[in-house]
Amino acid sequence: MGEKITLSVIKADVGGYVGHSDVHPALLHKAEERLKEAKANGLLIDFCRSKVGDDIALIMTHKHGVDSVDIHRFAWETFEKVTEVAKEYGQYAAGQDLLSDAFSGNVKGMGPGVAEMEIEERVSEPVLVFLADKTEPGAWNYALYKIFADPFNTAGLVIDPSMHGGFDFEVHDLFEKRKIIFSCPDEIYDLLVFIGAPSRFVIKHIFRRSDNEIGAVTSTQRLSLIAGKYVGKDDPVMVVRAQSGLPAVGEVLEPFSFPYTVAGWMRGSHHGPLMPVSLKEDTPSRFDGPPRVVCHGFQLKDGRLIGPRDMFRDPSFDKSRQMALEAADYMRRHGPFEPHRLPLEDMEYTTMPAIMEKVKSRFKVGVD
Ligand code: F6R
Ligand code: MG
Ligand code: MG
């Protein structure tokens, strides 16, 4: 076992190129410049500047622990500086995810998405960093259940003695701001009642039951719940540790062989397939989608991020991509009808209150 290091992934959409589809290289350049400075002055051990769709992700290792004011301030100020470039280049919705004018100690609740874990680095430490665009934090629920609780996905749950004891799932209720732990496999039926409603109940952390070792962390920010109105989709991130008593890399990737349905897509108001793509195919275009996920593989060594490897750049995910395209066609043909369009309460955009107000007097009440 090595020293404790923290892996922080902080992401934000601070301007799209073109519309909400991509990030202009000038913005990425500014983010990279800031990260290099932070590594040079010792704040960070290492970094990987990444992106998915219109979101920039700062993947960072350091020794300051989770919720570090210094790290969060650095990320916030980086996104502010990148926003200046976005404004200079007339990028779309510049500064979109910076919901506050001033930093107050932690970027949580201020717009950017955050997933962090402090770990004692193992002799060899494979980690997978997933970034998704055009969807919501609950989008990871299905995959995390498969990875850490479903023996049909993860053979190790059955045949690896160090995983056989199962995992604890920490679930957050985003509406009531409370959390609960379900111990699996004993409580999988109870867990599923909640995480099957991913717009409200989101898996935040997963721990191995035998020793409480952390296996996964996700971002749980919902911008609309923070801002009280539509301000862009949340586009979540997730970090999963793999191997040696945790799910193997291939077990972590396996759920994405099925492009399961998530909420998001156009105007954050439609269901669509979550398509696994390579880092070069991360730009949602058709109907602002379909929602997509990229995965970076790293080996950590003394906090250095050795990588990334582009984990979905593999023909074994072609079929999932093909299935996603077919599902996208099928869903699109529903146009403005549910279940393609989200139910009224989950839509990020709606004209319903205004139209209801306009036609209210024409409703005849007391109809059987
Ligand atoms: C979805 C998303 C886009 C926008 C859409 C309309 O998360 O970001 O689908 O909602 O392009 O954008 P506005 O309202 O900015 O014209
Ligand atoms: Mg955007
Ligand atoms: Mg986005």
pLDDT, tens digit (0-9, with 9 covering 90-100), for 182-230: 999 999 999 999 999 999 999 999 999 999 999 999 998 776 666 666 5
Query: In terms of residues, how long is the chain?
Result: 368
DSSP state letter for 24: -
* Mean pLDDT score, 36-64: 98
* Mean pLDDT score, 156-171: 97
Quick one: pLDDT band at residue 104, thresholds 50, 70, 90? Answer: confident
Beta-bridge partners for 271: 263
* 235 CA closest ligand 1 atom index: 7
How close is the Cα of 295 to the center of ligand 2, in Å?
Answer: 20
How close is the Cα of 17 to the center of ligand 1, in Å?
Answer: 12
Higher pLDDT, 100 or 204: 204
The pLDDT score that the predictor gives to residue 224 is 66
What residue ranges line ligand 1, CB within 6 angstroms?
Answer: 19-20, 93, 134, 232-233, 264, 266-268, 288
Percent of the chain with pLDDT over 70: 96
pLDDT at 54 over 60: yes
> How many C-beta atoms lie closer than 10 Å to residue 321's C-beta?
21
Counting ligands in written order, the one closest to the CA of 55 is: 3
How close is the Cα of 64 to the center of ligand 2, in Å?
Answer: 30
The pLDDT score that the predictor gives to residue 110 is 78
Residue nearest to atom 13 of ligand 1 (CA): 267
Q: 1-5, 110-114, 184-188: lowest mean pLDDT where?
A: 1-5
How close is the Cα of 291 to the center of ligand 3, in Å?
Answer: 9
Q: Is the dihedral of CA 152, 158, 162, 165 positive or negative?
A: positive
Establish whether 13 is a catalytic residue: yes
pLDDT at 356 over 70: yes
Find out whether 256 and 293 touch, Cβ atoms under 8 Å: yes
Q: What is the pTM of this model?
A: 0.96
Q: How far apart are CA 140 and CA 137, in angstroms?
A: 7
The pLDDT score that the predictor gives to residue 352 is 87
* Mean pLDDT score, 85-112: 87
Per residue in 275-330, pLDDT (tens digit) is 999 999 999 999 999 999 999 999 999 999 999 999 999 999 999 999 999 999 99
Residue nearest to atom 16 of ligand 1 (CA): 19
The pLDDT score that the predictor gives to residue 231 is 59
Strands 292-301 and 275-276: parallel
- Annotated catalytic residue, options 11, 13, 51, 55: 13
* 349 CA closest ligand 1 atom index: 10
CATH number for the domain whose boundaries are 1-120: 3.30.70
- Single out the residue of 291, 253, 261 nearest to residue 275, CA to CA: 291
The pLDDT score that the predictor gives to residue 29 is 98
- Annotated catalytic residue, options 67, 92, 108, 230: 230
The pLDDT score that the predictor gives to residue 1 is 52
Quick one: pLDDT band at residue 96, thresholds 50, 70, 90? Answer: confident
Map out the domains of the chain as residue ranges: 1-120, 121-355
